Chains A and B, each alone.
Chain A
Amino acid sequence: MLLTAEFVETEAVSKAVTSLTAEGFSGDEIELFSDVPVQLPPGVLDRRSRISLMAVLGAVVNASLATAFIYFTQHNYPLVTGGMPIFTGWSIGIVTGEMVGAGAVAGTILMLLWEGGLLIPRKRSGPPPALKPGSVFVQVSCPDGRSVRAAGCLTKAGAVDIQEHREGR
């Protein structure tokens, strides 16, 4: 069972999420939908993100690739330079520096796509609600028949409308 409740106030959303969590619903079972970002108080439905970590990893990977490229260019290319390096230190710095930036950008974007379920949509138990300006939708997945308790929490918090869906549709 999937419950979708509509709220018009952020405080009510916060209250609903807090009481749902107290009822034993995990963060993975609760999802909010809105046309603008919803700012909930700290500790309420905190989402962890690894985008920063991936940005650093992307930068490191690209820096390594740039270094490998420069190394193999210096050593494998049979150009007679009279002992002078093919790459100068200045070029190495610039190329590596820019590649670090490009790697950080790539890491950030790839992780955003992954965490946000963009391009590769995450498995949902039901359709996302159609967004309305000024409204916040709280969607709760109730796999083991806890829908009555969830509906109670949502109504008590101030939901203006609650709809039920069968999961997997």
Chain B
Amino acid sequence: MATLAEIPHSDVRTDLWRPLSQFSVRYWTLVTLCSLTVAAALAAWGYQIYRGLGIAGYNRPVFWAFYETDFVFWIGISHAGTLISAILRLAGARWRKPVTRAAEAITVFCLMIGALIPLIHLGRVWRFYWLIPYPNERLIWPNFRSPLVWDMTAIFTYLTGSVLYLYLPLIPDLAELASHSRDWRRHLYRLLAIGWVGSDRQWHALEIAMKLMAGIVLCIAVSVHTVVSWDFSMAIVPMWHSTIFGPYFVVGAIFSGIAALVLVMAGLRHFLHLEEYLQPLHFDNLGKLLLLMSLLWFYFTMAEQLTVWYGNDPGEYAVFQSRIYGNFAPLFWTMVFCNFVLPFALLGIKRLRNITTIGICGVTVLIGMWIERFLIIVNPLRQPRLAAAWGTYAPTWVELLITGGTFAAMVLLYLIFVRIFPVIAIWEYNDAAHG
């Protein structure tokens, strides 16, 4: 299957090493903007620590809001790398080779950001170690029933697995970079290459390890987002206590992950001039995957709403009502438009499916998925079963700034990554194109 351009070995190396040494004004401008936003978000977090969580807009009965939305959103996107890369690796899809590293890097950075959010939500962040189930001489033990302990265990495993899953195929490239670099880069690459010499024993071990890791990480990824969904579905809050939440969250996670991957790939293609490597075929294939996930997401969303509507439980129906034609209706219908209507129209019609429209769908799906997470969390919390306890919620500038900061942090981490490591696995590309 001729899916990869047959570019000579030396040209592949030159093309993919170029971004490591060339720094444009545009790059530094973007780095500065993102750094300033992250700094502002950190300052807002510092202010929140100083003043307490009260300034975060939490108000009875809404004590989970923007931060939890961000948490579920980023953990969801993190499924881009592991699931897409692992599924395609296990399926033996050759076209995946220029795509996988970009996806795996998304996973690691999203998880880093996602894992930080429970700490932001903790308020007394210096007590973060209470999340860890450790024995304590002062008889203060963490609450093992708390979903925070589940999340901590799941995210720790997933982050460890994902970092290693990104790192393993980097090793051969790092060894090659070490022999062609100077200064601090040479030391860094040599250190990270951990003695790789390219022997058949090493290749054999790496291939087996990568296949195993793909299988393991795939299981962990599915379990992690299922655990995140259980944070909600284990509670008897209206429209949370649902058996469908596990697969619904996993589908949403893969959906938003593909959208993020499409955007990152479009950015890399444009800014790093990787047109020969990230071809329309890759976008077309990912566009089809995005369409499939959009249909699945719509099916789950409708199943969730229809069951509540037909069940007619008063507590749940009140939430449903406010979602469909009440206070939250504008958000709900925007979400449906972003996640289903637009992708269905643009990706479903072959003539309209191109890099630009796939990129547009990537943006709208990310917006739609953030709204979906917000609706899942805030809408039911605002309207508990007892109508007398209903309340309101509005985000404050602190929450908005910290949320903006997470997006800037993601871009910043990626900008740093593409300047230190080749964003496409050179050996995997050569192996696929010439092997």
- A-side residues, CB < 8 A to B, are 31-39, 45, 47, 49, 51-52, 55, 69, 73, 77-79, 86-88, 90-91, 94-95, 97-99, 101-102, 104-105, 108-109, 111-113, 115-119, 121, 128, 130-131, 133-134
Contacts and interface: CB of A to CB of B under 8 A. Distances in A.
Contacts of A33: 197-200
Contacts, number: 158
A47 B194 contact: no
B161 to A, nearest CB: 5
Nearest to B234: A90
Contact of A37 (B133, B144, B176, B431): B431
B144 A118 contact: no
Given A33-B198, A55-B212, A133-B10, A101 B223 contact: yes
A32 B434 CA distance: 18
A31 B204 CA distance: 12
A97 B179 CA distance: 42
Contacts of B209: 51, 108-109, 111-112
For chain B, the bracket of interface size reads: 35 or more
Nearest to B207: A37
Interface string B187-199: 0000000111111
Which residue among A52, A78, A109, A119 has the maximum number of chain B CB atoms within 10 Å of its CB? A109
Pairs of residues from A and B, 8 with the lowest C-beta to C-beta distance, nearest first: A133-B9, A128-B197, A32-B200, A112-B209, A116-B202, A37-B203, A116-B205, A36-B431
B200 A45 contact: yes
Nearest to A95: B153
Nearest to B165: A105
23 contacts: A35-B9, A35-B172, A35-B430, A36-B435, A37-B431, A47-B200, A49-B205, A51-B205, A73-B133, A73-B141, A78-B139, A86-B144, A87-B145, A88-B144, A91-B150, A101-B157, A105-B157, A105-B220, A116-B196, A119-B194, A121-B195, A128-B198, A134-B434
B206 interface: yes
Given A31-B200, A87-B145, A91-B145, 4 more contacts: A36-B431, A88-B144, A112-B205, A131-B176
B133 to A, nearest CB: 8
B426 to A, nearest CB: 9
Contacts of A133: 9-10, 13, 430
Contacts of B197: 33, 128
Interface majority SS on B: helix, strand, loop or mixed? helix
A98 B154 contact: yes
A91 B207 CA distance: 35
Given A73-B144, A109-B164, A131-B176, A49 B204 contact: yes
B161 A115 contact: no
Given A49-B208, A51-B208, A91-B144, A116 B201 contact: yes
A52 B198 contact: no
A78 B136 CA distance: 11
B435 A39 contact: yes
Nearest to A28: B201
